[in-house]
Amino acid sequence: MSDVDEVKSRLNIVDIAGERVTLKKAGRNFKGLCPFHKEKTPSFMVSPERQTFHCFGCGKGGSVIDFVMEYEHIDFLEALEQLAGRAGVTLTKRIGDSPEQKLKEKLYEVNALSGEFYQYMLTSHRLGEKALSYLKNRGISGKSIKTFGLGYSPNSWDALSLFLKKKKFDERILATAGLTVQGNRGFYDRFRGRVMFTLRDHRGNVVGFSGRVLDPTIKEAKYINTSETPVYSKSNVLYGLDVTKSAIAKAGEAIVMEGELDLISSFQEGVRGFQARCGYSRA
């Protein structure tokens, strides 16, 4: 039996789909509102006998793997690996075996740790008091700071670098992740003295950051973003998608806002079908 067949045989599509869609028994099948387009009358059907799904509204359908691919916006191999872990199946060749994927995993790890550092500096260190006050004045709650991974980068040339090196990350990884920049005297922290917005992909991996300058008198760009890396491309990342994707799927549409703070403010007001371009703002 192939890896694909083994995974399918150990999982019930009703369970997988039912975790993401409210399903009700309808004869031999289950039905619910389609997560892939906006509708008021249920046209999304799941068959436990055939282990398939089909939407009579938008036409999408397939196996449990197809469902996860469509819902999570991931490719076949990623969906297979995710479901294999759920099913307890060891794949004969895992995605993570390749050097490219191992590098990506390392970048996700160093980015996630950097995000924790920035958030600690914002919420628990005196150096972040001005940034925290700025966010509170903009109406950003403590809960949103945690949900969206907001932080503060100290106005220092090496605060983050020293922290990460103590965690055994070398200079090459820091530079590859876009966290440091090489100058005449060596590498230095890219983000300094900025409110930090954590950028995540749709699966929740931390892929980079956007930093907003606090002091308007400083003659620097108001926003700077992580440079292009193996895990981050500005044109492919929409801020907040990892948080709002479920609401967007249910609504069948998304509204792209101008900046991160606009999205967070709307989210706090209960308007969830938004995503934002990275590093844009009117104020």
**Domain count across the chain:** 2
Question: How sure is the predictor about 252, in pLDDT bands with cuts at 50, 70 and 90?
Answer: low
* Mean pLDDT score, 86-100: 77
Same domain assignment for residues 91 and 103: no
Domain boundary, last residue among 95, 116, 140: 95
Q: Which of 41, 85, 27, 35 is nearest to 61 (CA)?
A: 35
CATH of the domain at 70: 3.90.580.10
Q: What residue numbers bound the domain in which 169 lies?
A: 99-276
pLDDT in tens, 164-202: 999 999 999 999 999 999 998 899 999 999 999 999 987
Residue 279 has a pLDDT of 52
Summarize pLDDT for 97-127 with one digit per residue, the tens. Answer: 678 888 998 999 999 999 999 999 999 999 9
pTM of the full structure: 0.69
**Cα angle at 228 between 225 and 231, to 5 degrees?**
105
Does residue 256 lie in a domain region?
A: yes
Whether the per-residue pLDDT at 267 is higher than 70: the answer is: yes
Assess if residue 232 is contained within a domain.
yes
Residues 88 and 159 in one domain: no
Of residues 15 and 281, more confidence is placed in: 15
What's residue 238's pLDDT?
81
